[in-house]
Structure 1
Amino acid sequence: MASLNNDTPSVNLTDPSNQTLDVPEFPSRNGPQRLLAAATKQPRNREKVRLEPGHSPLDWAKLTSSGKDLRGVPPFGKYTIEQIREHRKQDDAWTAIQGKVYNLTPYLKFHPGGVKDLMRCAGRDGTKLFMLTHSWVNIDYLMKECLVGFLVPST
């Protein structure tokens, strides 16, 4: 391979036959990819939250498959946003996400962002916040045992 000119940053790699190869550095130090990345607004840094012992994702999976009642109410119902607003305390927290109403209370201490972060959507429709921060999460699977009903329009 021909050697690169002296002003192109490169990385020296050694292949299995012990031959040194000059490979251009990518993205280059002052190239458009790095300049664009430096100019792009980065999301705010999240604080790490230490979960209490026994509150890991695996512990949540065990709890949800244990058969324990995590709903806290009789089988499914229909709830208005006014009814959900009544459940906005740490010992009684509900939210609506994509038209489904969930009892967050059993999950609070398992949430990787901490109780305070999850309480931001307690007592209200948390769809927008959920989609902004966790659009890749399968809420139907994660919270299936906490589903209490469905959001209906106020009358």
Structure 2
Amino acid sequence: MSDSQHLTPNNVTPTMVLSDTDANVMEVPEFPARNGPQRLVAAATPQPKRRQKVKLEPGHSPLDWARLKSSGKNLRGVTELKRYTLDEVREHRTQDDAWTVLNGKVYNMSAYVNFHPGGVKDVMRIAGRDGTKLFMMTHSWVNYEFMLDACLVGFLTAE
């Protein structure tokens, strides 16, 4: 067989050989080593639970949320910002009336519930309570103050 017959797409097996200037083959160390401590630690570390993806209904994308926020519609459900106790926030824990506290600010998430990428169930975990700890554990990089600015109803106050 000629060299051109060996180089057809069906017969080509890609290989890579490292060599120095004297054409000596070099052994390249593998990192992390197959039985090294880094791999052993990685194998023993519990991996996070895979998240469940939720299919959002048509009209509930992040762009649709941005459009709704800028529409001028009252998403707060209140006429003025006030101070609320945690007991008052607890009264709002249904899907149609879902409030939460994030870092001392009270938000009416009722309009946002169906837009949440994790689904309604995830948002309802913090409805009617201070959701700061759970939110920070799962969404610390999210700018909720901008995302929920149209939903701010007030500030948490001591009982």
TM-score range, shorter chain: 0.7 to 0.9
Give how far 1:116 is off: 0.6
| Bigger CA radius of gyration | 2
Give how far 1:29 is off: 2.9
In structure 2, the residue matched to 1:89 is 94
Aligned with residue 146 of structure 2, among 136, 141, 144: 141
Number of residues of Structure 1 aligned to a counterpart in Structure 2: 140
Alpha-carbon RMSD = 2.1
What percent identity do the matched residue pairs reach? 65
Q: What do residues 101-142 of structure 1 show as CA deviations (whole Å, max 9, x unaligned)? A: 000101101111100111000001111111111111111111
Contact 1:12 1:21 in 2 (8 A): no
Please identify which structure carries the higher strand content: 1
Q: Normalised by the size of structure 2, how large is the TM-score? A: 0.80
- Amino acid of the residue matched to residue 114 of structure 1? G
SS state at 1:106 partner: coil
Contact 1:99 1:150 in 2 (8 A): yes
**Alignment partners' CA distance in 1, 2:26 and 2:80:** 67
SS state at 1:83 partner: helix
In structure 1, the residue matched to 2:66 is 61
Cα distance change, pair 35–90 in 1 and its aligned pair in 2 (3 A): same
Q: Normalised by the size of structure 1, how large is the TM-score? A: 0.82
User: Which ranges of structure 1 fall in alignment gaps of 5 or more residues?
Assistant: 1-10, 15-19
Contact 1:85 1:123 in 2 (8 A): yes
User: Which ranges of structure 2 fall in alignment gaps of 5 or more residues?
Assistant: 1-14, 19-24
* Paired residues for 1:22-41 under 5 Å: 23-41=28-46
**Alignment partners' CA distance in 2, 1:13 and 1:55:** 52
* Paired residues for 1:1-155 under 5 Å: 12=16, 23-154=28-159
**Alignment partners' CA distance in 2, 1:107 and 1:30:** 49
Cα distance change, pair 46–13 in 1 and its aligned pair in 2 (3 A): farther
Cα distance change, pair 147–31 in 1 and its aligned pair in 2 (3 A): same
**Alignment partners' CA distance in 2, 1:110 and 1:118:** 10
Cα distance change, pair 27–62 in 1 and its aligned pair in 2 (3 A): farther
**Alignment partners' CA distance in 2, 1:47 and 1:30:** 33
Contact 1:12 1:22 in 2 (8 A): no
Q: What do residues 56-99 of structure 1 show as CA deviations (whole Å, max 9, x unaligned)? A: 11111121122221111112111000100110011000001100
